[in-house]
Every structure is written in structure tokens, then in C-alpha cells.
Amino acid sequence: MRRHILLTAVALTGINPVYGATSDNAIRSVPQYILDYAPLVWLHSQETYMPSDIQQQVINTVPKINWTSIEGVQSPLDLNNLDTLNGLGNASVYLTSHDGIEANPQPAWFRGITPDQDGRLGNGTGSAIIIADRGNGTVDAFYFYFYAFNKGDKVLKMEFGDHIGDWEHNMIRFKNGNPTAIWYSQHASGQAFTYHAVEKEGKRPYAFSGNGTHANYATSGQHDHAIPGINLPVGFVMDYTDRGRVWDPTLNAYFYTYDSNTTKFEAVNSKDPVAWLNFNGKWGDDQPPGEPEIFGEAKNVAGPNGPKFKGLGRKLVCPSKPCIVLPFRIWSGNSTE
């Protein structure tokens, strides 16, 4: 099937995002190979928690420290001033939901925006593409995906790891405009492959998103992630992926450059909001006080940090050592739970 970058806006149902779709100027200013080789994300056929508009997360939360609202917060708080929260406390600031993680029924914004038949999130902006030029012809392109809610895995019929806010990403390393390797984020770790090893649509590699957890895999099927960085078709801590619905993150994205020496972000088109990338806090609730834990794991856990904490200055394809770039992928079995 063939997909095009469509620049016309379409109506959004249920959610009213603040920032719209990718602009013509941004597209024209991005090196073409960044778009030509951008991943396509297969969301699970039973996925409930779709990609989400990044600004909506700010609108539907209030910054808190230790579950206490902070004084001196700018109003309205948005993606252009989110970094002002960095100086308002010595502990982590949590963008804490008005509804609570156990809200029943869950609010609509938890469920994000279902991509349309072209893979677009209406007018919502659910991804950020960050380009880091390493010099000598080497460029790393980070494709970040945002989800308002993460549904954790079940182990022995007990659920662990629910959290509000969820950042995942692929990173593709280019040499002189040619892709050489790709990283798939998975929970606390991930996997790296040569570009030629992964499945593609034309030039664009596939990322298979875990049902509820949104961890990224190179194959459709079952994935045990009990051992970080190891992907087995059977085990106790399972993710499930299949070819449900395609999301094309390039159609609704912010585009940035990142300088590893200065740790500075710049918007490619000079219009996309930048301040939010410098926010040091968490994109969801803190772990609820008194949350019961079993073997150190809890049902509801704290939300994650944003893209600046995902190894943007990495030297290797992986954010940490050891880094094994696999020249092949292993089929992961039946994807049915």
C-alpha cells in the first residue's frame, strides 16, 4: 500500500488539540531522507490507548510535587512555557491528571486519537522528530511517539505498570543520508537492528506497537520482556503486537534539531513550540501514595520523563552499553492474547 504526506487538515472527533498538523514550511526544511525512511507504526487491533496530542496532556493535568499543587505556575500553561516549571521546586514536578489514574469511567483524553485511513491524527500532534547531526556525515533521527495513557502488562492475572503519559521512540542512524541501523524502545530498554534486517513498506521500516504498553518491536507477535533487551515469543511478562491500524507519525509532527554539545533544541520551522522539550519533570501522575507492591512492582506507577532524557546524545545506536545491533529479526509467534 502507498501512503503520501498529506498537508490538508481534517476534522478531529472528541478532542480539540491546541496545535495543528505539520506545516508546509517544516516539511520543506527537513532533509528528505528523514521523511523517506521514517517508521510507520502498526497499532494493535485491540488498542484502546491511541497516540495523543501532546498539548492536551498539559491541558488535562496540573503540575504537582508530592501530590501538592505548586504556586507561581504560569497561566495558561502550554508547550511554549512548560519549562518554567523547572525552577519551582527541588523535587520532580508531575503533570498530574485532574481525573486520577483510577478514574471510572476513564476520561476520553486517556484514549487519544484514532488515526484515520491515511494514518493521520486529525489535527492532533502526537509525535516529535528530533534530528541530531553527529558530524562526518552521521545523523541520528529520533521519532518520538506520545500516548496519554499506558496500560501495563498482566503477570499471573495481576496487572502491573499502568501510568499516565507514555513516551516511546525509534531512532534511525544515517550515514551520508543512507539508513544503517534502527533502535526500538521497549520499556526500560529496547533492541537495535540493521536497517536492512527489519520489515518495511518501501523504504519505511515498520514499528509494531505493544497493545496498551506501546513498546516498539521489529516483528508482529508475542514478546516476553522479562529480561530487558531480550525478546522471546513466550514468557511471563508479555507484550502483544499485530497489524491493526497504521499510524504515520510524520503527518502530525513537530520537527527539531538537537545539538549534543550544547543540549539545545531548535524548531526546524522556527514556529513549533520548543520550551516543552526542556521540561525536567514527568508527563503524568506520581505513583499513588500507599500503592501496594508485589516483588517491587505496582499496578499504578509514575509517569515518564520526556524526550530529552532518552539518550539524545548517545554515541552508539543504543542509549547505553552493551549495544548489539542485530542483523536479523526473529518471528515472535501468534499475536493473539
> Does residue 2 carry a pLDDT above 70?
no
Per-residue pLDDT tens over the stretch 142-195? 999 999 999 987 776 677 889 999 999 999 999 999 999 999 999 989 999 999
| Contact in structure between 126 and 152 (CB atoms under 8 Å) | no
Which whole number is the average pLDDT over 27-41? 92
> What's the Cα-to-Cα distance from 77 to each of 30, 58, 72, 249, rounded to whole Å?
29, 7, 11, 25
Residue 136: which residues within 8 A CB-CB, separation 6 or more? none
Task: Tell me whether residue 137 is exposed, middle or buried, using C-beta atoms within 10 angstroms of its C-beta: 0 to 12, 13 to 18, 19 or more.
Answer: exposed
Position 234 confidence tier, pLDDT thresholds 50, 70, 90: confident
Residue with the bigger pLDDT between 20 and 240: it is 240
Position 20 confidence tier, pLDDT thresholds 50, 70, 90: very low
> What's the Cα-to-Cα distance from 10 to each of 1, 56, 252, 272, 296, rounded to whole Å?
21, 18, 11, 19, 45
Which whole number is the average pLDDT over 221-244? 85
Per-residue pLDDT tens over the stretch 92-106? 999 999 999 999 999
What 3-state class would DSSP assign to 57?
A: helix
Residue position matching grid coordinates 493521520: 120
Q: Which of 285, 234, 236, 314 is nearest to 93 (CA)?
A: 285
Per-residue pLDDT tens over the stretch 209-230? 999 999 999 999 999 877 777 7
pTM reported for the whole predicted model: 0.91
Measured CA to CA, the distance from residue 29 to residue 248 in angstroms comes to: 19
Position 16 confidence tier, pLDDT thresholds 50, 70, 90: very low
Question: Which cell is 261 given?
Answer: 554539545
Predicted local distance difference test score (pLDDT) of residue 61: 98
Question: Which cell is 276 given?
Answer: 516543552
Which whole number is the average pLDDT over 194-214? 98
Question: Which cell is 119 given?
Answer: 494514518
Position 273 confidence tier, pLDDT thresholds 50, 70, 90: very high
What value, to the nearest 5°, has the Cα angle with vertex 145 and ends 141 and 146? 145
Which residue pairs, CB below 8 angstroms and at least 24 apart, start in 97-102?
97/60, 97/61, 97/164, 97/284, 97/285, 98/60, 98/61, 98/62, 99/60, 100/285, 101/162, 101/163, 101/164, 101/285, 101/288, 101/300, 102/300
Per-residue pLDDT tens over the stretch 77-135? 999 999 999 999 778 999 999 999 999 999 999 999 999 999 999 999 999 999 999 99
Measured CA to CA, the distance from residue 326 to residue 182 in angstroms comes to: 10
Q: 83 — phi, psi (to 5°)?
A: -70, -10
Residue 321: which residues within 8 A CB-CB, separation 6 or more? none
Residue 266 forms beta bridges with which residues? 257
Q: Which of 46, 95, 34, 80 is nearest to 253 (CA)?
A: 34
Task: Tell me whether residue 266 is exposed, middle or buried, using C-beta atoms within 10 angstroms of its C-beta: 0 to 12, 13 to 18, 19 or more.
Answer: middle
Measured CA to CA, the distance from residue 128 to residue 52 in angstroms comes to: 12
Per-residue pLDDT tens over the stretch 46-74? 999 999 999 999 999 999 999 999 999 99
Which whole number is the average pLDDT over 234-244? 89
Question: Which cell is 70 given?
Answer: 505548586
- Mean pLDDT for all residues in the chain: 89
Q: Which of 203, 255, 322 is nearest to 27 (CA)?
A: 255
What value, to the nearest 5°, has the Cα angle with vertex 95 and ends 91 and 97? 135
* DSSP character at residue 176: T
Question: Which cell is 317 given?
Answer: 545506536
Predicted local distance difference test score (pLDDT) of residue 94: 98
Residue 44: which residues within 8 A CB-CB, separation 6 or more? 209, 210, 211, 212, 240, 241, 242, 244, 335
Predicted local distance difference test score (pLDDT) of residue 156: 65
> Does residue 306 carry a pLDDT above 60?
yes
Position 24 confidence tier, pLDDT thresholds 50, 70, 90: low
Predicted local distance difference test score (pLDDT) of residue 334: 56
> Does residue 23 carry a pLDDT above 50?
no
